[in-house]
A = this chain, B = another copy of it.
Amino acid sequence: MSEYPPTERTRVKRKRDRGSFDRDLVHAILDEALICHVGFASEGQPFVIPTIHARDGELLYLHGSPANRTLGELADGAQCCVTATLVDELVLARSARQHSLNYRSAIVYGTGREVTDPEEKQRGLRAVVEHIAPGRSAEIRGPDEKDLETTSLIALEIEEASAKVREGAPGDKERDLESPYWAGLLPVALTAGEPIPQPDLPREVALPEHIKSWRR
């Protein structure tokens, strides 16, 4: 098991058994989460912004437009905290106190850099498309020079990272076990509905397999 080295920031203070530095687990959470939440502080004021990300090995790309304030701050070298969270189950206890959610979250700390090299930008943008819909990058038009100019991409080395997982049953105490209340878990997941084709699609363009079979 390959692990990220624990640091002051990533050490999970509460309920240590929920914390992990396992690389595969951090990667899996980042890959499954459609979006992340990027935090940075500007003059002491924290901001938390939902952002599309993609992972390429130990690089995390954050995607946006050049006018995006968050990416601007990150390009300027702001310390950031990127968090991706998946909710897996509602934890429904007999007592109000023991209600919770089963979840997996990954946190990456670091300083980003703006991607300016056109080849890396191509790779990063491809990773973003593959993150949203695996298999799709082969069935679209890739970015040209102007597309690259009008896209901003921040790259962050995944060096300082951790995961946190809650799983399992509600923690009702002995005294509540005989109560007349239902308790258990309710699994929840992000699922796809019916695709909505663009009305102006040429008739011969069929729904591709990677969309038909999309799942998270």
Contact = CB atoms under 8 A, between A and B. Distances in A.
Interface of A: 9, 13-15, 34-35, 37-41, 44-50, 52, 65, 67-69, 79-83, 85, 87, 89-90, 92-97, 99-101, 103, 105, 107, 109, 125-126, 128-129, 132-133, 136-137, 139-143, 147, 150-151, 169-170, 176-198, 200-202, 204-208, 211, 214, 216
A143 to B, nearest CB: 5
5 contacts: A40-B46, A45-B109, A48-B107, A92-B136, A184-B198
Contacts of A9: 45, 47
A178 to B, nearest CB: 7
B182 A99 contact: no
Contacts of A89: 196
A125 B95 CA distance: 11
A98 to B, nearest CB: 9
Contacts of A189: 190-191, 193
A204 to B, nearest CB: 8
Given A13-B67, A35-B101, A103-B50, A182 B207 contact: yes
A96 B182 contact: no
A47 B183 CA distance: 33
A95 B140 contact: yes
Contact of A96 (B35, B126, B187, B202): B126
Nearest to A206: B182
A205 B182 contact: yes
A185 B69 CA distance: 27
Contact of A201 (B79, B184, B186): B184
